[in-house]
Each structure stands twice: as C-alpha cells, then as structure tokens.
Amino acid sequence: MNLKQLKPNLTLVTLGGVDYLFSYETLVAGFDLSQVSPEENGYWFVGESYSNTTTRHIKYWLENLYTSPKTTKVSKGAASLAQESLV
C-alpha cells in the first residue's frame, strides 16, 4: 500500500495497482488499469453532489478527464461499499 498526500485533506492510496482518491476520509474517485477499454479510461468518480471543496478535489485530480464520456460516474453508495472493502 502506498499513501500520498496530494493537498491538505486530499490523499491518494494505491493498493494492488488501483488508485483510490480520498477527500478528507471519504473515497470519491479512483483509477483501475484493468478497467481500461475503448469505451472506458479506467477513471471513475462519485457523480453525486459533495461539498465545494470535495468537488474541487475530484476535479483537481481528474483534470480534463472530469467531463470525459470515458470516465465512469458512480453513486455514493457504490463508493461507500468500495471504501468498506478497503478496511
């Protein structure tokens, strides 16, 4: 496991070759190389509303991929389940 602080309250955790982006203590985005295909770029983020700061964190990490049709939007519930499986 690799832990990297990108900004205050913004942390990237790499586990098993998969990146997980945490804003404060909440999993909000990630990258999985095994999910790369012609239709998907392997990046995902929670598409539901968060605070302004957390939304800025997601956009900062994804940069121009935030609006890409190849970036997958997931629900808060799906991200929460994924976060629970990391513990």
Instruction: Report the alpha-carbon distance of residue 72 to residue 44 in Å, rounded.
Output: 4
Instruction: Report the alpha-carbon distance of residue 41 to residue 2 in Å, rounded.
Output: 22
Instruction: Report the alpha-carbon distance of residue 39 to residue 58 in Å, rounded.
Output: 21
Q: Per residue in 17-57, pLDDT tens?
A: 999 999 999 999 999 999 999 999 999 999 998 999 999 99
Say yes or no to pLDDT of 77 above 90: yes
Helices (H) and strands (E) in the chain, counts: 2, 6
Question: How does residue 87 score in pLDDT terms, banded at 50, 70 and 90?
Answer: confident
Say yes or no to pLDDT of 81 above 90: yes
Mean pLDDT, rounded, of the chain: 94
User: Where are the alpha helices (H) located in the chain, listed in sequence order?
Assistant: 52-62, 76-86
Instruction: Report the alpha-carbon distance of residue 23 to residue 54 in Å, rounded.
Output: 6
Question: How does residue 64 score in pLDDT terms, banded at 50, 70 and 90?
Answer: confident
